[in-house]
Amino acid sequence: MINHIHITLNFPFKIQHKLVDPSYDYRPKDGNHKMEHKIVRLRFKSEALPLAIATLNRPAFSRYELALIVWKLYESKSLNDAKIIGLSRATPDRRAFIAAEDSLVQSNLIKNIGKEKSPFYVWSGATGSNKLELACCFDPFSAISHLSAMEWHGLTNRISETVFVTTPSATQWSSQAHEQMVKDLGSQLYRFREVERLPSLTRVTIEKLGRRPLSRHETKSKFSVVKGGEFIRVTSIGRTYLDMLREPQLCGGLPHVFECIRDGGKRHLRLILNEFENHGTAIDKVRMGFLLETLCSIKNQDLDRWAGSFASRGGSRKLDPQMPYEPKFSSKWCLSINSPLEVDDDQYD
């Protein structure tokens, strides 16, 4: 009788395993013998834990997520109908978790790419994973943004060497982390965190993903995202245009932003209008309205309404907030055109 599962670890990623199906009928074809039920047993640290991580099919995970995997294995004492042997406690304490964590690190199944006080683990074999996947795994509430999002959506022909992400403010992030832990653990959260002293879901400090720098930007405002596969989250096209206008220095510079609006403004007009209508400020609408009219030759009732409602006469609004005021001026949009644009002079007042 087979007493346990045999696992071969094939680096860098896949775990090959051979499970005995307890429902399989091992009787000879003549039917003269009773079926022998095969019990599959797994050793916790060397077999059950690596197999549980592998079946998640995640390239990377936080220390909290690793602790959650260990917790669930202790609770169930089984995995895929196989019994886990050697677990006497109902739940793991901090000492048991650290022993399991150290076992994975020492066997090179996981690698820490975070700072010392904020570990973040890459599953072995994930070195070739998409860097955008890793970025979204390391911060579950973030999204790929700015020039990286422009590249993803095909708004630019540039390739971003830096991975840009947007994430909620520290207070909002902590609130969302608490909500996630309640969802994961329910009434067991207090025991998990306060009694057994297992790690909570906390923000991780990472400066690079492989050789690519990681640039993280916090925001207090909500940002719409789209899914790009199982793990990748990207700011929506409308939100990406809003970021382009608000933070052009993170999007290839203002001249490049003008190029992208000129190339894609008409194609993405409805998405832009919806995003700016719902989440843009008055000056956001004024700047984008002027650019859509000037660069894309768009005539639109929504733009006319923006000009009538949000253009503030007698002010000192500028197209580029970082540059000095210029006398070249749009009377319709009450905007100083203080950044060079490749348009005819008669489009200005």
Task: List Cα–Cα distances, 76 to 48, 81, 287, in angstroms.
Answer: 12, 10, 57
Residue 315: what pLDDT?
65
Describe the strand order of the beta sheet including 143-144 as a list of residue ranges.
Answer: 208-209, 212-219, 163-168, 143-144, 233-235, 225-227
* 337 within 8 A of 326, measured Cβ to Cβ: yes
pLDDT tens digits, residue range 318-332?
999 888 888 888 889
pLDDT band per the 50, 70, 90 thresholds, residue 230: confident
82-85 and 163-168: which strand pairing?
unpaired
Supply 185's token pair. 């653990």
Residue 30: its pLDDT value, please?
A: 54
Q: Give the model's pLDDT for residue 98.
A: 96
Has residue 13 got a pLDDT over 60?
no
Angle at 72 between CA 68 and CA 76, to 5 degrees: 175
Residue type, position 313, single letter: R
User: Is pLDDT of 147 > 90?
Assistant: yes
Greater confidence (65 vs 209) lies with 65
Cα 197 from Cα 91, distance rounded (Å): 11
Residue 9 has pLDDT above 50, yes or no: no
Q: What is the pLDDT of residues 63-78, one digit of tens each?
A: 999 999 999 999 999 9
Residues in Cβ contact with 188 at an 8 Å cutoff, skipping those fewer than 6 apart: 71, 91
Q: Does domain 1-129 have CATH number 1.10.10.10?
A: yes
Q: Output the pLDDT for position 80.
A: 87
Flag whether pLDDT at 28 surpasses 80.
Answer: no
Q: Is the pLDDT of residue 343 over 70?
A: no
Q: How confident is the model at residue 17 (pLDDT cuts 50, 70, 90)?
A: very low
Question: Is residue 93 within 8 Å of 196, Cβ to Cβ?
Answer: yes
Burial class of residue 91 in the structure, from the number of CB atoms within 10 Å of its CB (0-12 exposed, 13-18 middle, 19+ buried): middle
Average pLDDT, the chain: 86
Q: Where in the chain are the domains?
A: 1-129, 131-235, 252-349
Question: Which residue is listed with tokens 């749009």?
Answer: 330
Nearest-angstrom CA–CA distance, 65 and 44: 17
In tens, the pLDDT along 101-111 reads 999 999 999 99
**% residues pLDDT > 90 (the chain):** 65
Reference 311, options 297, 294, 331; nearest CA is 331
**Tokens (6 digits) for 33:** 């013998």
d(CA 318, CA 326): 8
Give the count of alpha carbons within 13 A of 49, CB side only.
27
> Can you tell me the distance from the alpha carbon of 222 to that of 275, in angstroms, rounded to the nearest whole number?
11
Question: Peptide bond preceding 12: is omega within 30 degrees of 0, i.e. cis?
Answer: yes
Asked whether residue 185 carries a pLDDT value surpassing 90, the answer given is yes
Q: Kindly indicate the confidence band of residue 284, based on its pLDDT and cuts at 50, 70 and 90.
A: very high
The encoded tokens of residue 116 equal 């010392």
Q: Rounded distance, CA 36 to CA 53, Å?
A: 31
